[in-house]
Amino acid sequence: MSKVYVGMSGGVDSSLTAALLLEQGHDVVGVYMKNWSTNLPGMKCPWAEDLADAKRVAVQLGIDFKVFDFETEYKQKVVNYMIEEYKQGRTPNPDIMCNQEIKFKIFLEASLEDGADLIATGHYASTLDGKLIMAKDQGKDQTYFLYRVTKEALEKTLFPLGGYTKPEVREMSKERHLWTAAKKESMGVCFVGSVGIRDFLSEYVSTKIGDIIDSETGERIGYHDGAIFYTLGQRKGLNIGGGKPYYVVGKSMEKNEVYASTNTSNDAMWTDVINAHSMHWISHEAFSGECLARFRHRGELVPVRVIPQKDDVVRIEFASAQRAISAGQSAVFYKDNICLGGGIIIG
């Protein structure tokens, strides 16, 4: 069987991934990717605890264990990208960039160079002949985060959890008495555990108080603590009291203003056509025509028509208008449960 390097994060999914591959007869090596170790004021980065948990599972399974330090590359390729996108008023997804630049590029390259035949992760997805296929558990499917992975990388990757639901994964982990079987999932920014994006950005970006403007009347209705923190369709965090709830319908980074409305039918929140750039097609062949698309993780799959334009841009036309699609997010395309690829939304 193959020698497989498993990315072990210290969580239940990657722990069971290693266990299943070992049971299948593979020569398994566990690898912890040290991507981020910086503490924030009042918030401790959980990397040391996660590393310890990954080690414990490796000892349980009797497999070799390594630590790959990608902290420098992660800061350059993922963190700096995320910060710059937010500074421009866009809403990036660091998990997507992490998969593209770290897990399925640098980690893959380092593993192959170290003697691996394949790599594996605990993502909820499947792959076959370089195709990326949606997971059995539609609620946990992570192909949205994986759409920028190359066909060549997918051919060297195993996703053992693609055919299981999360409850099944929990139960299988308990049956094997894995150390992490009952460990809770981490929430918040992908690389600093429970820290929210607002708290993280506050450490790296200087912000100032600005006006919240009623988009219908032009009147100031409140104050915000930095336009960078707000995204289209957002309701929480506006702190505007009384009457109907307000939603963010736009913002100006130059003026440091946030525009809000109580009108859920506000034209600024709805669109029936957008453009996307920086396209990545897994098969290397650009798609044109009708398919399904997703615009956020766990977002509904909606019918669209994809029309290639000049300069690596596609026009995306919706069968029905969609709400709160923000620049910087990803549009990801599907056909018959196969993820075709996608791009970054321009607007």
What phi and psi values does residue 13 have, to the nearest 5 degrees? -65, -50
Does residue 4 contact residue 26 with C-beta atoms inside 8 Å?
yes
- Does the annotation mark 190 as catalytic? yes
Catalytic residue, chosen from 45, 190, 291, 339, is 190
Does residue 36 contact residue 50 with C-beta atoms inside 8 Å?
no
Q: Name the burial class of residue 304, with classes exposed (0-12), middle (13-18) and buried (19+) by CB atoms within 10 angstroms of its CB.
A: buried
Q: Which helix (H) or strand (E) holds 61?
A: helix 47-61
Structure tokens at 40: 């924030």
- Does the annotation mark 45 as catalytic? no
Residues in the chain: 347
Q: What does the DSSP assignment read for 84-95?
A: HHHHTT----HH
d(CA 131, CA 151): 7
Question: 81-102 burial, b for 16+ CB within 10 Å, e for fewer?
Answer: ebbebbeebbbbbbbbbbbbbb
Catalytic residue, chosen from 45, 98, 291, 339, is 98
d(CA 331, CA 340): 11
Q: Which helix (H) or strand (E) holds 257?
A: strand 257-261
Which residues are CB-contacts of 171 (< 8 A; sequence separation ≥ 6)? none
Structure tokens at 70: 């990608």
Catalytic positions: 98, 190
